[in-house]
Every structure is written in C-alpha cells, then in structure tokens.
Amino acid sequence: MPICVLDTESTGPAGLMRASIIEIGAVVLTHEGEELGSFSCFVKPAYPVGSWCFHAMQANQIDATLLHSAPTPDVVWSVLLDWLSLHKPVRQVLAFNSPFDKAIMAKAFPDSVLLPWGPCLMREASSLLSGTRASIKLATAAKQFGLPVDESSAHRALYDARLAGKVYQKIMQRQALY
C-alpha cells in the first residue's frame, strides 16, 4: 500500500491565533519509494498577510500576492481528498514535523485529524542519527543521510514533501538493518 508524505507552509506556528496554512504539498510513494503522484496548492489564508508574519513569509519564500487568488481551505481540502482517493488505499500520511503539520492543517481542515497519520519523521530521523528524539531540521537530516539539498527550494511545500519522502526511505533502509 502506498504512503503519502506531505508538508505545509504557513504564516506562523499553529498556536498563533492568526497563523494560517498557505501552501500544501504532498507525494504518494510506493513502499520502494517510487513517486506515484504529487499535489501542490496555495491556500488562501484565513487572516490577511501583514507585517506580523514577515519572518514566516520570508522563510517560505511565498509572496503574499500569490495568495490573493488562491482557493479557500474548504476547496483545497476537497481537492486534496479527491487526489488522495486516486491512490487508495493510502496506508499512512507522514510529515517530517508532523506535530506542526497536523496542527496547522487541523486549523484549516478540521477533518484532517481523521487521516491515517503515521509517526513523526523528524523524531524517527533524530533517533537514528543521534540516538535522541530531539528536533532536527529537514535539511540537516537529509544531509546527514547523504541526500542532496537544494537550499533555494527548501521551505516550499512540494519540495519539502519530496525531500521528507527521501528521508523516509533512508529511515526505512536503516531500520531494516537492525
């Protein structure tokens, strides 16, 4: 059964009242890591983008003008579910920093809590790489697994979802050795 690896970009941390998801990217992979499909979409933020989210917007390299014509969260959720249904059954939905992605998605897509969420890839990678379950950045984990990282594409949802999928494959390979 395939898995889905996704990533989100937002205007800030989910705990911030005005924080909104602004981009989602996802890939569906076979057990062997072959990409079966990809999904990428901007999402109209629930709150106007302003100086309060300058650092988040700078990090994810998304210009606020790209969001003016973005679809609303309810439309994006419907399209995402339709896309996922093309790959049924998806065994698990994974994210590198799943606590963050799950929380920001739940704000925009309340039914996202019903997805078959798997383990946090950040915690799994950190455990394998350092023996702890501490926070680690996606790019750092990827580099430590010997994966190339395009820093100019980092913090864009589809790129990060694909990179997290490659990290997932490295985790699976390492775990198979034990």
Averaged pLDDT for residues 69-92: 96
Confidence band, pLDDT 50/70/90 cuts, at residue 178:
low
What is the overall mean pLDDT for the chain?
94
User: Which tens digits make up the pLDDT trace of 127-158?
Assistant: 999 988 889 999 999 999 999 999 999 899 99
Examine the pLDDT at 40 and tell me if it is beyond 60.
Answer: yes
**pLDDT over 90 percentage in the chain:** 76
Examine the pLDDT at 177 and tell me if it is beyond 70.
Answer: no
What class, spelled out in words, does domain 3-177 have in CATH?
alpha beta
Averaged pLDDT for residues 63-84: 95
Q: What residue spans define the domains of the chain? A: 3-177
Are 32 and 4 in contact by the 8 Å Cβ rule? The answer is no
Alpha helices in 41-137 (DSSP H): 54-60, 73-85, 98-108, 121-130
Are 77 and 109 in contact by the 8 Å Cβ rule? The answer is yes
Examine the pLDDT at 42 and tell me if it is beyond 90.
Answer: yes
Confidence band, pLDDT 50/70/90 cuts, at residue 50:
confident
Query: How many Å apart are CA 84 and CA 81, to the nearest integer?
Result: 5
Number of other CB atoms surrounding residue 168 within 10 Å: 22
- Average the pLDDT over each of 13-22, 49-58, 96-105 and give the range with the smallest value: 49-58
Confidence band, pLDDT 50/70/90 cuts, at residue 31:
confident
* Residue-level pLDDT at 36: 96
* Residue-level pLDDT at 57: 87
Chain centroid offset of residue 76 CA: 15
